Every structure is written in structure tokens, then in C-alpha cells.
Amino acid sequence: MPVKPVFFFYFLLIGCLFACNPRKQNKSGHTTEADDEPVKKLDLVRLKKKAAALKEYAMLNKYNTKYALLIDFHVRSGRKRFVLYDLEQNKPINMALVAHGQGSNYLTEDVPFSNVEGSKCSSPGRYKIGAKYYGKFGWAYKLHGLSNTNSNAFKRFVVLHAHSCVPESENFLGICRSDGCPTLNPDYFAELQLLLDKQKKPVLLEIYK
């Protein structure tokens, strides 16, 4: 799905951002956001609960019980919120940045959810990662919505794919938006493909916030 950059907007306002929201240095020498602007980080307790529910669902419905993918859209776009999870060891394997759907305002950090065709929104819920194909963004995976909140994902062409606008490293400004597809960094996606392509049973994905 097309991806729109948001960096131009931030560069226009960067002077104001630094003037109004000073960043402080922590003990390691890295800058952090102002104390009065809370940073939404990945909730590992909630992540584990979501993963446990996915494993139970996978066991009951004959899906992959070794790996799962989870996306916490409560976390801001410039921070890693895409998780490859080991269901057997009950722990994250690695994390990455992922773009969310732009909805009616591609500048918003508050992820808009919708299951409506043409909304350009992300959809929450459980997905089966389906067939791999080669499209306009290179290799991608079809996504089949398994919840009432994402039942239109397949016909909306919401797929798992990569785009060069998604960086590898976390940043303060945030990243680009998609038309509803969970979109990853190309290098990370290439590594993820190696794992997904080896699986004999479909891997589950859960999107929440």
C-alpha cells in the first residue's frame, strides 16, 4: 500500500519543537524528551498476556505455536513496537519499527483504527499471515483478519510488507505512514522472511493498542 512521508512537516516545525520541548541528557549522554511529555513505551506485561492468548488460540486452531508477531500501536511510531515473539520460551526475540495507517490525518501519532474499505487505517485484532507474493513493494504477505475488527483486511489489500521510509533505528520525530499496512524496514523484513518461509503452519499476528 502507498506510504506517505511525514518528515517534511516535522522539519518545518523542528525549531519550535526544540524550543518548546527541550530534551535533556541522561547518564549515558543520550538526549531524552522533556519530563512533561510522557513517552509511551512497550508494556512487556501486557505483551506477554497477548502472546499467551495467541498461543492458546494457535493450539486450538492448529496455527504455529512456536512464533507469533505482535504490534502495540499504543507506542509512538519512532519507537520499536513490532515484536517477533517466541511462544515456547515466552519472550520477545527482537523488536522493530513499524508504520501505521494514516487514516484521515497522516500526521497523527494516535493510531486511527477502522475496518472500513478506503479508510487507510490500521485494523486491530488477530490475523493469519497468508501467502507470500511479489507486488509493487517487493515481497509481501497476505493478511487474513480473524477478528470482527479486521474482517475486511484481505479485500482492503492490507498486507505485511517493507518500505525504505521505515528506518532501522528509533528516533524522536517518528516515521512514515501507510494506507493501513503494517510496514517494516527492508533489512528487518528480509530477515523476517527467512523465518516465516520456513514455518509449516501459519504464523499469527496481533495488532492492539
Residue 20: inside a domain, yes or no?
no
Q: 115-171: per-residue pLDDT in tens?
A: 999 999 999 999 999 999 999 999 999 999 999 999 999 999 999 999 999 999 999
CB 149 within 8 A of CB 127: no
Which residues face 206 on adjacent strands?
70, 126
Output the nine-digit C-alpha cell for 207. 495488532
* Confidence (pLDDT) at 108: 86
| Residue 112 falls inside a structural domain | yes
Among the listed ranges 13-22, 92-101, 116-125, which one has the minimum average pLDDT value? 13-22
Burial of 158 (0-12, 13-18, 19+ CB in 10 A): buried
- What does the pLDDT read at residue 1? 54
The CA-to-CA distance between both ends of the chain, in Å, stands at 22
Strand partners, 86: 67, 91
Domain region containing 202: 50-208
Q: Is the pLDDT of residue 16 over 60?
A: no
Question: Per the domain annotation, does 21 fall within a domain?
Answer: no
As separate numbers, helices (DSSP H) first and strands (DSSP E) second, the chain gives 3, 11
> 62: domain CATH number?
2.40.440.10
Residue 55 placed within a domain: yes
The tens digit of pLDDT for each residue in 25-83 reads: 333 233 233 333 345 789 999 999 999 999 999 999 999 999 999 999 999 999 999 99
In a domain, 93, yes or no: yes
In a domain, 18, yes or no: no
4 within domain boundaries: no
The structural domain count of the chain equals 1
